[in-house]
Amino acid sequence: MALTRVSRVLRRAGRRTNLGLLLLLVGSFATGWVAFATAGPVSARVAAVAHGVLGLGLVVLTPWKVVVARRAPRLTPASLGLAAVVVVCLVAGVVEVLVGPGVGAGLTPIQVHVGAAFVIVAFLVEHVSRHWRPRLARKGDLSRRRLLRTAAFGAGAGVTFLAVEGVGRVGGTAVARAATGSHPIPAADIPATTWLLDRVPTLDRATFRVQVGPASLSVADLDARGRAVPARLDCTTGWYADAVWTGVPLDELLGVEADASTDARSVRVTSVTGYHRHFPLDALPRLFLATRVEGSPLATGTGAPVRLVAPGHRGFWWVKWVASVELSAYPASVQLPFPPQ
Ligand code: HEM
Ligand code: HEM
Ligand SMILES: Nc1nc2c(c(=O)[nH]1)N[C@H]1C(S)=C(S)[C@@H](COP(=O)(O)O)O[C@H]1N2
Ligand SMILES: [Mo]
C-alpha cells in the first residue's frame, strides 16, 4: 500500500523535476556568492539559510531525478559526472557546516565546494543543452495544486536544512558559528590566508614606509599613534577570530585631505602585491592601518608590517602588506565584487 503510493508520487517525475533542479542549481550558485560577500549579522544569516535550503533541496529531489534518469534510453558518462560533482559539492558544503575549515590537508572544504560548483556549471551547460526540451517552464506550473506540491518540496528542503543544523548542534561541532556560518578560532591561530593567487612578500619592518595620501609614514610612526581596535576577522573559507588589533583610523590619517578634495569618491587601499580594495569615504573612521595583533607585531604571512583592519567587512577586504592608502575618483561601487588575485 505505502509502496504503491510512493511509486505513484515518484511517477510524477519529469519536466518539473528538471526545472526544479535547474532553479536550485542556479539559485545555489548565486546565493553562494552572496554568502561570500555579506558580513552583517542579519544579511549574512539570510544568505546562509537561503543558500543551505536551496542546495539541500537538491537532495530532496534526488528520488524523482533517479526516476527521470532511469527512464532515459541510456546513461551518459557526462551526466554521471555531473551527478558525481554535485555529490562532491554537497558533501563539501555539509562538511564545512558540520566540521569547518580545519579538516583536510591542503584544501579546505570551502575550496573543494566552490571548485566543484564551477565544474557543475560546465557540466550543467552541456547537460541542459543536450537534453533541452521546449517550454521547460509553463504557466500551469503556478497553479494552486502545483503550488501545494512546491510548498511541500520547500518544507522538505527546510527540514533537511534544520536536520543538518541539528546534527551540528548536537554533535557540538557547529555551536559557536557566526551569522556567516564561520567557525571560531583563537586569535593566536589566525592562519596566513591568500584570497586566490597572491604572493607573500617579506618586508623589513624597520625601513618599510606606507604612503598615506601625501605623507610617507614609518611603521614606528603608525605604532606610536595606534590604539586598541577589537575586531572580528571572518574569512570566507569558514573561520573567524576575535582579536584586539593596534591601529590608526584612516579618517585621522586622511580626513582633512578627504574633506578638502572635490573629486574623491573612494579610498583605495593597495598592497605591495597589487591586491587592492576601494572603500566609500564615509567608511574612513571605521578602517584602520594596523601594525599589531594582540600586542605583537604582525607575522609575515598575516600582513607584516602593516595591514588594513576593516571591522564589519569579510576578510578579503582586510588588505595585507599595505603599500598605499589614497583618495580615488572611482566610486567604491564600480570595483569587482571580489579581488582578482
Ligand atoms: C551549485 C552550486 C552550489 C550548491 C549546490 C551548494 C550547496 C551547498 C550546501 C548544501 C551547503 C550546506 C548548507 C547547510 O547545511 O547549511 C553549502 C554551504 C556553503 N556554500 Fe554552497 N553550494 C553551491 C555553490 C556555492 C558557491 C559558488 C559558493 C561561494 C562562492 C558557496 C558557498 C558556501 C558557503 C560559504 C557555505 C557554508 C555556509 C554556512 O556555513 O552556513 N556555495 N552549499
Ligand atoms: C543535479 C543535476 C542533474 C543531474 C545529476 C542529471 C542527471 C541526469 C542523468 C544521469 C540522466 C540520464 C540521461 C543521461 O545520462 O544523459 C538525465 C536525463 C535527463 N535530464 Fe538531467 N540531470 C540534472 C539536471 C538536469 C536539468 C537542470 C535539466 C533541465 C533541462 C535536465 C534534463 C534532463 C532530461 C530532459 C533528461 C531525460 C532525457 C531522456 O529521457 O532522454 N537534467 N539527467
Ligand atoms: N594582499 C593581500 N591581502 C589579503 C589577502 C591576499 O590574498 N592578499 N587575503 C585576504 C583574505 S581572503 C583574508 S581572509 C585575510 C586573511 O588574513 P590573515 O592572513 O591574517 O588570516 O586577508 C585578506 N588580505
Ligand atoms: Mo578570506
* Sequence spans of domains, the chain: 2-184, 187-334
Domain 187-334 has CATH 3.90.420.10: yes
Ligand 1 atom at shortest distance from the alpha carbon of 181: 40
Is the CB of residue 221 less than 8 Å from the CB of residue 248? Answer: no
- Identity at 231, one-letter amino acid code: A
List, in sequence order, the alpha helices (H) in 172-249: 219-225
Atom of ligand 1 nearest to the CA of 118: 27
Instruction: Give the pLDDT score at 260.
Output: 87
Q: CB of 11 within 8 A of CB of 71?
A: no
* Centroid of ligand 3 to alpha carbon of 260 (angstroms): 32
Is the dihedral angle over the CA atoms 301, 305, 311, 316 positive or is it negative?
negative
Q: Is 93 helix (H, G, I), strand (E, B) or coil?
A: helix
3-state SS, residue 108:
coil
pLDDT at 1: 59
In the structure, which protein residues have their CB atom closer than 6 angstroms to any atom of ligand 3? 190-195, 198, 235, 271, 273, 275, 301-303, 315-316, 318-321
Exposure b/e, 178-200, CB count within 10 A at least 16 = b:
bbbbbbbbeeeebeebebeebee
Tens of pLDDT along the chain (341 residues)?
577 888 888 888 899 999 999 999 999 999 999 999 999 999 999 999 999 999 999 999 999 999 999 999 999 999 999 999 999 999 999 999 999 998 777 899 999 999 999 999 999 999 999 999 999 999 888 888 889 999 999 999 999 999 999 999 998 887 899 999 999 999 999 999 999 999 999 999 999 999 999 999 999 999 999 999 999 999 999 999 999 999 999 999 997 888 888 899 999 999 999 999 999 999 999 999 999 999 999 999 999 999 999 999 999 999 999 999 999 999 999 999 999 99
The CA-atom distances, in angstroms, between 318 and each of 210, 259, 279, 311, 337 are: 16, 24, 11, 9, 14
d(CA 31, CA 96): 16
CA dist., res. 310 & res. 195, Å (int): 16
Residue 299 grid cell? 607575522
The strand pair at 239-249 and 183-184 is best described as parallel
| Test site for ligand 1: of 51, 56, 97, most ligand atoms within 8 A of the Cβ | 51
Whole-prediction pTM value? 0.96
